[in-house]
Amino acid sequence: MVILGEIRTCLLHNSRPLPKAVVGELLALKPGKRVRVTDRPVNLSVSPELAVGVDCRLASEPSAKARGIGTVLSHAMVTGGVVLQASARAWLARATSDTRQGWSHYARRVGTVEVIGKAGTEQLALGHRAGNAGGVLDLGAISEYLLDVVQMRPQLDHTTAIRARPTCVRWTAMSAEDGQTEPMVRLHVEDEVSRTIELVVTADQLGLAQRFCEDVALHDWLLTTLGSTIEQAARVDDARTDMLAAAVERLVHLWMPGAHVHPVMQTLWDKLERQPGFSRQWGAQVAQIRDLVALRTLKALEQARRRETADW
C-alpha cells in the first residue's frame, strides 16, 4: 500500500489576518458539511473533503505501464488566518481485475485509486516524487485548482502586505517492511519552491501521514517566506520597516512544529529538527529580521534628529 499526495502552500490574499468566523465561511466549500476547527495552540481550520474522479496513467520510475482509476480526496486549510494550503491525496491499491469496473465500484472507495498494470509500489512512489511528465495523475493540479477556488472567495480583499511565493510538496507514504518499527522520513529540496517527502511508517500510521506532511509543508513555507522577505528588505536601501514588520506580525507566532501532528508522528519531526534543523534556521532568521527592524528604526530616528537640527 502506498499513498501519494501533493500540498500547495501560499499566503492568503487578504490585507489582515482573517478572524476565525470568517475563515469558517471561507472554507465552507461543501454545503451541509462542517469546517473542522482547532484553536490551540494556533488556529487551524480545515474544509470538508472534496472528491475528484480520475482515470489516467500513473507515473512510475523506472517507467512501467500503469493505469489508475478511482477518486482523489482534497481539502483546504487556513492556519492563523494567514496561510492557505490545499492538499490532495490518493491511496493506491492493486485492482482485482484488469478491466475497468462500473463507476459505482470506485465511488464506494472514496479516496482510493485502483492500479491496473505491472508497476510496483516502489516504482509508483518514485514516479510520483519525480514529478509529472504530463498525461499522468496530477495531484498538484487538483491542489492548485482548490487554492484558486478559495482565493477567489468574496471574504478576501485580495491585498497582501508580504510578497510570498507558493511552495509545492510532493509526498509518498509506504508501509514499513516486517520487523521495521522505527518510522523514516526523507525531505529533499528540489528547487526554490519544490520539495519531496518520502515516508516509511507502520501500517497503522499511514492514515496520519498526510497531516504530518501538511505540517512540514507549512513550516517549510514559513522558512522560505521569511528568508525571502529578508532578501527583499536587504535590496531596499532605505529605513522603511513595513515589509519586515508585517512578516514579524503575521508569521513569527505561527512557528509551532508538530503542534497539530499526532504524537506517534512526533519522532519524525524530531528527525527533521536534527537534520536539516528547521527550528535552528527559523531562530536565526527571526533574530536577523528583528535586528534589521531595530537598525532601520535607529536609522530613521537619526535622520529625523538631523532634520530637526537642520531646521534650527
- Statement: residue 312 has pLDDT above 60: no
Confidence of residue 128 (pLDDT cuts 50, 70, 90): very high
Locate the domains of the chain by residue range.
2-207, 222-311
Tens digits of residue pLDDT in 167-191:
999 999 999 876 666 789 999 999 9
Look at residue 72 in the predicted model and tell me its pLDDT. Answer: 98
> In the predicted model, what is the mean pLDDT of residues 251-260?
94
- Statement: residue 301 has pLDDT above 90: no
- Statement: residue 126 has pLDDT above 90: yes
Look at residue 75 in the predicted model and tell me its pLDDT. Answer: 98
Confidence of residue 311 (pLDDT cuts 50, 70, 90): low
User: Cβ contacts of residue 111 below 8 Å, gap of 6+?
Assistant: 49, 51, 70, 71, 72, 73, 89, 90, 91
Q: Is 222 left (phi over 0), alpha (psi -120 to 50) or beta?
A: alpha
What residue has cell string 514579524?
A: 248
- Statement: residue 304 has pLDDT above 90: no
Highest mean pLDDT among 60-64, 167-171, 294-298: 167-171
> In the predicted model, what is the mean pLDDT of residues 24-37?
95
Q: Exposed, middle or buried, 145 (CB in 10 Å: 0-12/13-18/19+)? A: middle
Confidence of residue 3 (pLDDT cuts 50, 70, 90): very high
Least confident of 97-111, 209-223, 271-285, 290-304: 290-304
> In the predicted model, what is the mean pLDDT of residues 219-230?
94
Look at residue 234 in the predicted model and tell me its pLDDT. Answer: 76
> In the predicted model, what is the mean pLDDT of residues 134-150?
94
Confidence of residue 242 (pLDDT cuts 50, 70, 90): confident
User: Cβ contacts of residue 171 below 8 Å, gap of 6+?
Assistant: 4, 5, 6, 7, 129, 196, 197, 198, 199, 209, 213
